[in-house]
């Protein structure tokens, strides 16, 4: 059996599960669904499986890709069985043969909610739109060499902001998925640099794309 | 999930422990429920979710129609602060609803150092700490677990205590409360009714008076409350299935594996061991039932490890059969079988070959004392030859790491006994040199000591704990004599054991001390990060009480012990004879070899008391 790929969602309470724990949770779900996974050789064998892009704790996603190899034939009702074995908030949407390597994944579309407890400042959405289109977005960013002034503009392909009511600005952005990656929290930080720091921000991964902005599966 | 909680969770460590939603958690429709139970564990999620008792009681309660039982754990310090700052009261994981709106908050008290955590949970729930200050019938605040065998230090806070095994007792109490709600009983009316249930202790129905020297002068029950309250034993353990649908955490916990209870109680009669006395008589589950339960626990959880729990696993008379039945399922699936609590005297080649088949972890043994003389005193009847023989088998079988647990400060301990720990460890090292299959990997022998804490309802319940300075001196003595490189020595700190000892044998007057310790910031005292001896000493002093009086004082047999309000079913005369035998260095045979007539046989109709010995 070759590599298989699972398109998964991680929503609600499940967004607090860390990347490592998500792996553990997925492994146990396969065991509960009685779909044996191929294991690594050696003293401490472990199932061969990996997620395409680690997801930060607290962020939701409807486009997580999990690659794995089964030890035997894939049961025809595998998707149903897996969904019955997953905890609240995690679900599997599509199951197919893995095609292109996850390394070819290039862009990530994220949706965010920026909360302003004192109400949205006048003209904030428009101002943010202009600011993000200005071509230079320098913020302090944690890097391997400590915190550094970094221009994140090259990692943002586009960003749009609209009033969602109730003191919330809805954000939608296409950002670099990897090499280098950008945590969407940086968008909230950049909004702060523009003078519109939200009191709280939430993010959800909405879609993944390749270099040519074709949906990646 | 509400907005406040979402924001708090963005800022705390490991938020998954507060989010719920785990696989196998039980969610019921509120409209169908007429009794809501919050099962509260006064420690972190990682510890509480690993607790077998929690898994058992959650399962038992949720089997009852129209009862919904949810889980509540103590938040870590960062979350505690966030909850207080944002005004988020303590909530249950399944529904997210506030604990104060439940019908019952049932706490599991397994170790004394969790007392402040329990008080803190009540305070986070927005409930008054003291029972007398909670006037309404609900939420009823109750406790069960091993610590309730001395309920007195926590008597001011809980409305009632459940003494003994909870599978049936908890459920009977839920039914009683459900009826009381329907009948619109007041809290005092309900408590009087509850006191009639076997195994229920309602502290407000007992008066305690004291002598001038601080000892108890008398315990007076009122309104027909029983004295003593005799513990409950769950019926039919032997042929019962172990619960197998445990909640599978979405974040790593301490014992992250499937677990089934192999046997309850212990046949051995170690004189220091509270569990050994309070869970009498020893009962073992049938191999068929164990295999079935183990396999369904694995299937329901997806875990890759199954552990067989008990106080002394290798004492199950048909352990090999149990292992073989389970291995048939586990081996082809790469699932490992772990057997903690093995005894060094009946660990065989056959058993070893079974536990090592899938994965090999370290071996742990607890000789408890270094010398034969002291092991006889505590009735831990493992000989040095047996221990070394077991180590030889293990080393020949390819094991290269052994952990050895000992206690310092046992009654009758001399410096020679302390040094014997070092000698024994060296002999284990020599055994490795002589028999190891593969010496290239080296060997790790980890020795650790804790400070002996005399516990209620044991043969040593009258004994004094050694003072902290003396424990430290013995630790230094041992450390100076542990020279070998491959032997590492670690020891528990004496301060925690000292406070634990004071609380373990405390009386009702400690309620004020506990409240003060909480007020001074006591939260999660079972954790080194949060324990603070100064806070405790100041709290004792505030109420004119001396922790030495409780921890380091030898009691006379004639003294009325505060915990005598509760009976474990083991006669006091038996404990006295055991304590006297200890002083003479005489051992007592295990229950399987010969029944010593401890009194526990009257509690239940099955188990070791009926297998042979006196009654056979
Ligand atoms: S009655 Fe006898 S066999 Fe039963 S627990 Fe007591 S000593 Fe052991």
Q: Would the pLDDT of B507 be above 80?
A: yes
As a whole number, mean pLDDT of residues A206-210 equals 97
Task: Report, as an integer, the average pLDDT of A19-23.
Answer: 95
- Give residue A130's pLDDT band: very low, low, confident or very high (50, 70, 90): very high
Lowest mean pLDDT among A83-92, A146-155, B272-281, B368-377: A146-155
Instruction: Give exposure, A30-59, as e/b (b: 16+ Cβ within 10 Å).
Output: bbbbebebeeeeeeeeebebebbbebebbb
pLDDT of A43 > 80? The answer is no
DSSP letter string, B428-486: HHHHHHHH-S-GGG--EEEEEEEE----TTSTTTTPPPPPHHHHHHHHHHHHHT---TT
Angstrom distances, CA of residue B384 to CA of B85, B207, B397, B398, B579? 57, 49, 20, 21, 23
Residue B346: pLDDT over 90: no
B597 in ligand 1 pocket by Cβ < 6 Å?
yes
| Residue A87 φ then ψ, to 5° | -75, 170
**Ligand 1 centroid to residue B578 C-alpha, Å:** 13
Site to substitute for ligand 1 among B231, B273, B281, B284, most atoms within 8 A of C-beta: B281
Facing residue for B250 by CB, picked from A30, A87, A200: A87
- Per the structure, how many domains does chain B have? 1
Pocket test for ligand 1, best of B457, B595, B611, B614 (most atoms within 8 A of CB): B595
Q: Give me the residues paired with residue B542 across strands.
A: none
The yes-or-no verdict on residue A189 having pLDDT over 50 is yes
Question: Which protein residue has the closest C-alpha to ligand 1 atom 8?
Answer: B591
Residue B452 lies in a domain: no
Q: Dihedrals φ, ψ of B80, to 5°? A: -55, -50
Rounded to an integer, what distance in angstroms lies between the CA atom of residue B118 and that of residue B111?
Answer: 11
Indicate the average pLDDT of chain B: 93
CB contact under 8 Å between A57 and B15, yes or no, is yes
CB pairs under 8 A between A and B: 74
Give me the domain span that covers residue B89: 3-228
Burial group, residue B92, by CB count within 10 angstroms (0-12, 13-18, 19+): buried
* Residue A160 DSSP symbol: E
pLDDT in tens, B410-456: 999 999 999 999 999 999 999 999 988 778 878 899 999 999 999 99
Query: What is the pLDDT confidence band of residue B612, given thresholds at 50, 70 and 90?
Result: low
Which residues are bridge partners to A208 per DSSP? A108
Of all residues in chain B, the percent with pLDDT exceeding 70 is 97
Q: Does residue B249 have a cis peptide bond before it, meaning omega lies within 30 degrees of 0?
A: no
Question: CB–CB of A45 and B334 under 8 A?
Answer: yes
Distance CA A67, CA A72 (A): 16
Residue of B6, B25, B302 lying closest to A32 (CB–CB): B302
- B10 — contact with chain A (CB < 8 Å)? yes
| A104 at B interface, C-beta within 8 A | no
B52 interface with A at CB cutoff 8 Å: no
**The pLDDT of residue A144:** 76
- Phi and psi, residue B232, nearest 5°: -95, 145
- In B, which residues are within 8 Å of A57 by CB distance? 15-16
Residue A147 confidence (pLDDT) above 60: yes
d(Cα B308, Cα B251) in Å, to the nearest integer? 22
Contact A18 B14 (CB under 8 A): yes
Q: Summarize the confidence of residues B291-314 as an average pLDDT.
A: 93
The model's confidence at residue B244, banded by pLDDT at 50, 70 and 90, is confident
Handedness of CA B157, B162, B168, B174 (dihedral sign): negative
Report which of B476, B399, B478 is spatially closest to residue B444, judged by C-alpha positions: B399
Locate the domains of chain A by residue range: 3-99, 105-210
Fold type of domain A105-210: Alpha-Beta Plaits (3.30.70)
CATH number at residue B68: 3.40.50.280
Closest Cα partner for B215 from B460, B513, B462? B462
Question: What whole-number distance in Å separates Cα of residue B398 and Cα of residue B392?
Answer: 10
Asked if the model's pLDDT at residue B196 lies above 90, the reply is yes
pLDDT (0 to 100) of residue A143: 76
pLDDT, tens only, B96-125? 999 999 999 999 999 999 999 999 999 999
pLDDT of B331 higher than 90 = no
Contact A16 B15 (CB under 8 A): yes
What pTM did the predictor assign?
0.94
B15 with A29: Cβ contact below 8 A: no
Question: For A12-37, what is the mean pLDDT?
Answer: 95
pLDDT at A1: 56
Model pLDDT, residue B613? 47
| Minimum CA distance residue for ligand 1 atom 4 | B609
- Tell me what ipTM this predicted complex has: 0.93
In CATH terms, is domain A3-99 a member of 3.40.640.10?
Answer: no
Q: Is residue B578 part of a domain?
A: no
Asked if A45 reaches chain B (Cβ–Cβ under 8 Å), the answer is: yes
B528 class by beta-carbon count within 10 Å (0-12 exposed, 13-18 middle, 19+ buried): exposed
Q: Which residues pair with B208 in a beta bridge?
A: B219
Q: Is B373 helix (H, G, I), strand (E, B) or coil?
A: helix
Q: Each residue of B82-104: pLDDT tens digit?
A: 999 999 999 999 999 999 999 99
Which residue among A13, A21, A25 sits closest to B1, beta carbon to beta carbon? A13
């Amino acid at each position: 059996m070759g590599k298989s790929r699972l398109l998964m969602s991680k929503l609600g309470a499940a967004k607090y599960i860390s990347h490592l724990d998500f792996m553990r949770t997925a492994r146990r779900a396969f065991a509960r669904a009685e779909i044996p996974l191929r294991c690594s050789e050696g003293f401490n064998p472990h199932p061969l499986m990996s997620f395409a892009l680690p997801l930060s704790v607290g962020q939701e996603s409807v486009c997580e890709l999990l690659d794995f190899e089964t030890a035997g034939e894939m049961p025809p009702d595998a998707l149903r069985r897996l969904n019955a074995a997953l905890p609240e908030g995690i679900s599997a949407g599509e199951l197919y043969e893995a095609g292109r390597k996850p390394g070819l994944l290039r862009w990530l579309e994220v949706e965010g909610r920026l909360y302003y407890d004192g109400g949205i400042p006048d003209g904030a959405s428009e101002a943010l739109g202009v600011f993000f289109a200005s071509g230079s977005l320098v913020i302090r960013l944690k890097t391997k060499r400590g915190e550094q002034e970094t221009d994140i503009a090259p990692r943002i392909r586009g960003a749009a902001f609209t009033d969602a009511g109730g003191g919330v600005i809805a954000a939608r952005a296409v950002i670099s998925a990897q090499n280098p990656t950008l945590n969407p929290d940086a968008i909230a930080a950049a909004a702060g640099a523009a003078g519109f720091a939200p009191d709280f921000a939430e993010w959800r991964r909405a879609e993944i794309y390749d270099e040519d902005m074709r949906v990646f599966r | 999930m509400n907005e406040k909680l979402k924001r708090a969770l963005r800022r705390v460590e490991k938020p998954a422990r507060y989010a719920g939603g785990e696989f196998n958690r039980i969610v019921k429709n509120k409209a169908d429920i007429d009794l809501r139970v919050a099962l509260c564990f006064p420690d972190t999620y990682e510890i509480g979710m690993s607790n077998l008792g929690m898994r058992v009681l959650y399962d038992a309660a949720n089997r009852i129609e129209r009862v919904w039982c949810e889980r509540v754990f103590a938040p870590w310090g960062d979350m505690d602060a966030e909850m207080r700052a944002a005004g988020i009261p303590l909530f249950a994981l399944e529904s997210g609803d506030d604990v104060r709106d439940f019908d019952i908050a049932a706490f599991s008290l397994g170790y004394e150092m969790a007392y402040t955590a329990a008080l803190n949970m009540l305070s986070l729930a927005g409930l008054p700490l003291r029972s007398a200050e909670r006037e309404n019938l609900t939420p009823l605040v109750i406790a069960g677990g091993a610590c309730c065998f001395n309920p007195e230090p926590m008597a001011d806070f809980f409305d009632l205590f459940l003494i003994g095994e909870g599978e049936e007792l908890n459920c009977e109490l839920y039914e009683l409360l459900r009826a009381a709600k329907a009948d619109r009983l007041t809290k005092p009316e309900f408590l009087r009714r509850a006191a009639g249930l076997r195994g229920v202790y309602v502290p407000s129905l007992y008066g305690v008076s004291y002598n001038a020297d601080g000892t108890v002068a008398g315990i007076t029950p009122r309104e027909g409350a029983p004295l003593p309250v005799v513990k409950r034993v769950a019926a039919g353990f032997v042929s019962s299935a172990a619960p197998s649908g445990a909640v599978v955490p979405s974040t790593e916990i301490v014992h992250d594996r499937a677990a089934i209870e192999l046997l309850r109680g212990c046949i051995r009669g170690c004189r220091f061991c509270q569990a050994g006395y309070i869970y009498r008589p020893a009962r073992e589950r049938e191999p068929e039932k164990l295999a079935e339960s183990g396999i369904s626990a694995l299937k329901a959880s997806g875990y890759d490890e199954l552990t067989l729990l008990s106080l002394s696993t290798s004492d199950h008379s048909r352990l090999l059969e149990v292992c073989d039945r389970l291995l048939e399922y586990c081996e082809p699936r790469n699932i490992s079988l772990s057997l903690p609590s093995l005894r060094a005297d009946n660990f065989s080649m056959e058993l070893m070959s079974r536990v090592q088949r899938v994965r090999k972890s370290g071996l742990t043994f607890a000789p408890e004392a270094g010398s034969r003389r002291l092991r006889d005193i505590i009735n831990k009847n493992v000989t040095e030859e047996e221990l070394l023989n077991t180590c030889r088998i293990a080393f020949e079988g390819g094991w290269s790491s052994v952990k050895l647990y000992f206690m310092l400060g046992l009654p009758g301990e001399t410096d020679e006994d302390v040094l014997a720990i070092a000698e024994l460890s060296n002999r284990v090292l020599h055994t490795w040199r002589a028999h190891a299959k593969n010496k290239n990997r080296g060997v790790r022998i980890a020795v650790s000591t804790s400070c002996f804490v005399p516990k209620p309802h044991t043969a040593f319940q009258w004994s004094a704990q050694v003072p902290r300075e003396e424990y430290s001196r013995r630790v230094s003595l041992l450390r100076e004599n542990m020279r070998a490189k491959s032997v590492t020595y670690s020891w528990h700190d004496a301060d925690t054991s000292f406070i634990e000892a004071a609380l373990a044998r405390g009386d009702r007057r400690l309620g004020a001390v506990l409240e003060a310790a909480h007020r001074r910031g006591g939260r999660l005292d079972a954790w080194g990060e949060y324990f603070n001896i100064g806070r405790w000493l100041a709290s004792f002093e505030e109420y004119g009480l001396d922790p030495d009086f409780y921890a380091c004082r030898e009691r006379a047999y004639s003294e009325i012990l505060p915990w005598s309000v509760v009976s474990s079913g083991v006669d006091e005369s038996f404990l006295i004879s055991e304590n006297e035998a200890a002083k003479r260095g005489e051992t007592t045979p295990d229950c399987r070899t010969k029944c010593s007539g401890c009194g526990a046989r009257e509690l239940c109709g099955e188990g070791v008391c009926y297998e042979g010995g006196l009654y056979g």
